Amino acid sequence: MTNENSGGLTDRELGMDRAIPRRDFLNGAAMTIGAAVIPGALCAHRTNSDEPQNQTGYNPPISTGLRGSHPGSFEIAHDLRDGTFWKNAPVPEVLSEKYDLIVVGGGISGLAAAYFYRERAGSGARILILENHDDFGGHAKRNEFHLGGKMHLLNGGTMLIDSPTPYSTEAAGLMRKLGIDATALDKKCVDHGLYKSLGLGTGIFFDKETFGEDRLVAGATDEEENSEEARDSAKLEEFLKKTPLSETVRRDILRIERAKIDYLPGLTSTEKKDRLSRISYKDFLLNVARVDRGVIPFYQTRTNGEWGVGIDAEPALDCWALGLPGFHGLQLEPGAAPRMSYSAAGYANGGSDRFHFPDGNASIARLLVRALVPTAIPGNSVEDIVTAPVHYDRLDAGPSCIRIRLNSTVIRVRNVAGPQAAREVEVTYASGKRVFSVRSGACLLAC
């Protein structure tokens, strides 16, 4: 329903009844951009030195507290939801600014949309990105800690470049243009032997409620399966002897982990995959591999990290794709099969390259901002983006055709009627206690 005080359109008129999956958003970024570039010189912009992002020392990554949706980022939207916003809101100030495109949302999707639009429309395209949070990047948050004169970084949201399926042509092309080569960066920047050099290793904690006693056993091999040492049965047997498991259970675990037994003889790889897709991994262990029931607790939570449920709720075929043991002797052909989940099918087909920037995917957002507003982030490489300072006061100032306006919650988007402005969109947003209205040739909701 439309709030009569808002002067807005219905959800159906705005197209809010049509679902757009997030993955389709980036995969469809190669769409034809039909909006014409607005002619004429860049119009005068709203300048307000009191805006938070223009204040000296403004640096959201050093902020503490809950940072997903921080105070100030959601209250206006809640007032809209509750129907109270327009009762108390001031009359929108109409800005003289004109844009070719306004993007609602300054996360990676919104920043990428602006990047793709400029590629199609030309370097002179005027774009405004409105973001309700105090920083750009969306879920790609960055945590900065300055201790002893040194900067320490940690991701505050999405952790790394990783997908169970290969990236779309658009997404892979964008990363390439930004200079991101996940394989090369991993080889150059990651010390895979760090934990081992510090004397650290893996282990499994056996809890009293499940195994009868609390016991931490070092030397677990689940994270070292690709090393020659981990494949050594003697080492695994030594580890199992330290656990509070019975001899029968230990023997069955050793068989599942190391033996190359075809538990489904006489079937083709296709037939085996179909069979495994119809039973859980728990059923596979109990009824196909025929292990002792005491083996199940040892593996029960192995799938929690990927799917949030235990092996009794996950198909055996998906667990094969994830690399769980017991399938060594089945001689299954590589690749996905019918009835597999999205993630498992992706892993079976090879997945994507992976890389973890020190601040997670915040570095990707920073690379996009540098490409859009070069004066805001100095530097010129994918490596120096990690430590480069962000001049937030330059995101929405100066001669740049692209502007990123933070702390701005969009409250209404509507097509402007009339023959003189048939192709214009009016976007109304709130910032602090003020409400503004601005027009563009097109608007994209990346929120």
DSSP states along 190-213 = --TTHHHHTT---EEEEPHHHHSS
What's the pLDDT score for residue 154?
94
- E strand or H helix that includes residue 217: strand 215-218
Distance in angstroms (rounded) separating the CA atoms of residues 233 and 53:
59
Rounded CA separation 188/229 (Å): 25
Q: What is the pLDDT of residues 252-294, one digit of tens each?
A: 999 999 999 999 999 999 999 999 999 999 999 999 999 999 9
Residue 35 clears pLDDT 60, i.e. is over it? no
Q: Are 311 and 302 in contact (CB under 8 A)?
A: yes
Measure the CA–CA gap between 436 and 125, rounded to whole angstroms: 22
**Sequence-separated (6 or more) residues with CB below 8 Å from residue 163:** 346, 351, 352
- Average pLDDT, integer, range 242-248: 97
The pair phi, psi for residue 226, each rounded to 5°, is -85, -5
Q: Using one digit for the tens of pLDDT, what is the confidence trace for 94-103?
A: 999 999 999 9
Give the count of beta carbons closer than 10 Å to the beta carbon of residue 227: 10
Nearest to 156 by CA among 63, 75, 22: 63
| pLDDT over threshold 60, residue 122 | yes
pLDDT interval class at 129 (50, 70, 90): very high
> Coil, strand, or helix at residue 411?
strand
Query: What confidence score (pLDDT) does residue 220 get?
Result: 72
For residue 243, the one-letter residue type is T
Tokens of 267: 């079937």
Greater confidence, 207 or 11?
207
pLDDT at 17: 53
Q: Which domains occur in the chain, in start order?
A: 22-162+358-445 (3.50.50.60), 191-244 (no CATH), 262-351 (no CATH)
* pLDDT reported for residue 418: 67
User: pLDDT at position 223, please?
Assistant: 44
| Mean pLDDT over each residue of the chain, to the nearest integer | 88
Least confident stretch, 202-216, 227-241, 293-307, 416-430: 227-241
pLDDT in tens, 135-147: 999 999 999 999 9
Q: How many of the other CB atoms lie within 10 Å of CB of 231?
A: 14
Assess whether pLDDT exceeds 50 at residue 29. no
Decide: pTM greater than 0.95: no
pLDDT in tens, 323-366: 999 999 999 999 999 999 999 999 999 999 999 999 999 999 99
On the question of pLDDT at 27 being above 50, the answer is: no
Give me 397's structure tokens.
């100032």
Check whether 41 has a pLDDT greater than 50: no
Q: Residue 31 above 80 pLDDT?
A: no
